[in-house]
Structure 1
């Protein structure tokens, strides 16, 4: 019996048997970030019963960024997690593995106080950044484009909520941050200026967010297949039902819909089938390799693994 035949037989048997009882579901612990792209897959899967459909019971835990989730993965308190491209240096340095791409976001921005008109004007300025995130990466790219490095600015590591307060009170001159925080800051500081966006560097550099698995769970291929199946199904639901996806995510996070609706338009989102084809064709791996090489240029890592070592694309492409 081939793998596909066996898999079909298993799925068919489950379908005939009806819904699995709670005690039959496999428990997993999965992290997410409380914004649209970091939450929508988990929220949709929960709302639509997709976890149970694929034999899973997901214990969902909220985090503020990817690096903290990787710490939880390595500590054994989390099985799966979500990271933005700014945290890809972690799997590229061998600390975890990627199981699925999510979307090509361009919600990151380099923003500045009124009167600062260009990235070059940031020289000598106080810039707040959540270190190791996509906001950090975009800032570094924008500075490099002006032949500037981090030593040209006063780099201040801050978490996103602190950046909102610090920017609004004038304690920092600029920030590398993302929507919906940019929208919140803009409402408090009407003169805020947007200096750079991920989209400025597309398609030479793509910024895919992704889902990762702990090293302890990386050999559990059947579990990973189930989680990937949920991610794919929720991905296509999100693509085909954009308004409902925003509503589901807003309800899940207990926040207003409008900021999430604005954020939801700031990404390119292939279908699961397209991601499968892009994986088989090597494009997804190339994007990850490019991001990893950028982190070498930034001095974040010295000798990154090739994407073929940290992206479990074979499982995704099945």
Structure 2
């Protein structure tokens, strides 16, 4: 349902500027310029960093400008207004392409970085009843809070939800202004530097059978040929990342201008797959199962009226046909 998450993000909101990668029209593309949004973490930035390192945009005849964002929903808005052509979203924003606001062109990873955290002395989700809980609406932070509440037989009405952007949650929780938060790594690592005794009371990795995909999305007006060219860049970069995990962390750290150790800690919450695996999981229906699971969840939260067929918003056929071309 995407751009940044903070020691990362202090560096990022302030320190990461838009980056432009120029390319001549020597590949299968038409030499057009595209604007690509990302969240400044390993999930959101590693393939873009690799694409630069490997000269993959040039091979497709594209000129690319990168723009950092703090979350997925803001990117979807930018896609809708034409300020972005492509972007990256985490699982919490999957309801937006499912509702027709964009199209998924490639699955990226499975992520398990989301948590419900609480101040010391609160040891369960029930302990947050009636208390202030910060959440970035429409993101995986809201998703994990909803999951935890559902598991406990509670609803969002049982807590005092306070809508905040991710960076504000960091400062508010650190200052003791909120009792809990639905938030994610690497921001939680930043909070822990100031609140070392915080409690992680719910984690996505504890959800039985839960698969939480991240994805790259395209605006609805982007041409299919450009979709195909970008998919081929992402597929090639993904293959390199799977074969070179340490080098991919270094590449992402360089793009983000943060310490490699921070990126490595972030990457520890991510499950990567080879491009061949992603193609196979698209062809055998596994990806559809992941997306169906997300859509069903968002129907329960009221963010979707009904669960659409994944083919309505995931360009799986184009993804598989682009492989190996």
Asked if these proteins are the same fold (TM beyond 0.5), I'd say: yes
- Tell me if the contact between 1:86 and 1:132 (Cα under 8 Å) persists in the aligned partners: yes
- Tell me if the contact between 1:87 and 1:132 (Cα under 8 Å) persists in the aligned partners: yes
The equivalent residue for 1:118 is 124
Secondary structure in structure 1 of the residue aligned to 2:230? helix
Give 1:24 deviation, angstroms.
Answer: 6.2
- Tell me if the contact between 2:114 and 2:141 (Cα under 8 Å) persists in the aligned partners: yes
Q: How does 1:162-241 map to 2 (within 5 A)?
A: 162-202=168-208, 204-217=209-222, 220-241=223-244
Give 1:221 deviation, angstroms.
Answer: 2.1
Moved segments of 4+, more than 4 Å: none
Q: Point out the more displaced range, 107-116 or 295-304.
A: 295-304
* 2:154 maps to 1:151: no
Q: TM-score, normalised by structure 1?
A: 0.90
The equivalent residue for 1:264 is 267
The equivalent residue for 1:312 is 315
* 2:233 maps to 1:250: no
The equivalent residue for 1:89 is 95
Residues in 1 aligned to 2:267 and 2:106: alpha-carbon distance in whole angstroms:
19
Count of residues in Structure 1 that have an aligned counterpart in Structure 2: 297
Q: TM-score, normalised by structure 2?
A: 0.88
Q: Deviations over 1:140-194 (max 9, x none)?
A: 0011000000000011111111111001100011111111101001111110111
**Residue segments in structure 1 that go unaligned for 5+ positions in a row:** 1-17
Give 1:19 deviation, angstroms.
Answer: 8.3
Match of 1:71 among 77, 100, 107: 77
Larger C-alpha radius of gyration, 1 or 2?
A: 1
Residues in 1 aligned to 2:122 and 2:295: alpha-carbon distance in whole angstroms:
31
The equivalent residue for 1:13 is none
- Tell me if the contact between 2:25 and 2:62 (Cα under 8 Å) persists in the aligned partners: no
- Tell me if the contact between 1:93 and 1:303 (Cα under 8 Å) persists in the aligned partners: no
- Tell me if the contact between 1:89 and 1:300 (Cα under 8 Å) persists in the aligned partners: yes
Give 1:127 deviation, angstroms.
Answer: 0.7
RMSD of equivalent CA atoms: 1.6
The equivalent residue for 1:5 is none
**Residue segments in structure 2 that go unaligned for 5+ positions in a row:** 1-23
Secondary structure in structure 1 of the residue aligned to 2:117? strand
* 2:36 maps to 1:30: yes
Give 1:106 deviation, angstroms.
Answer: 0.4
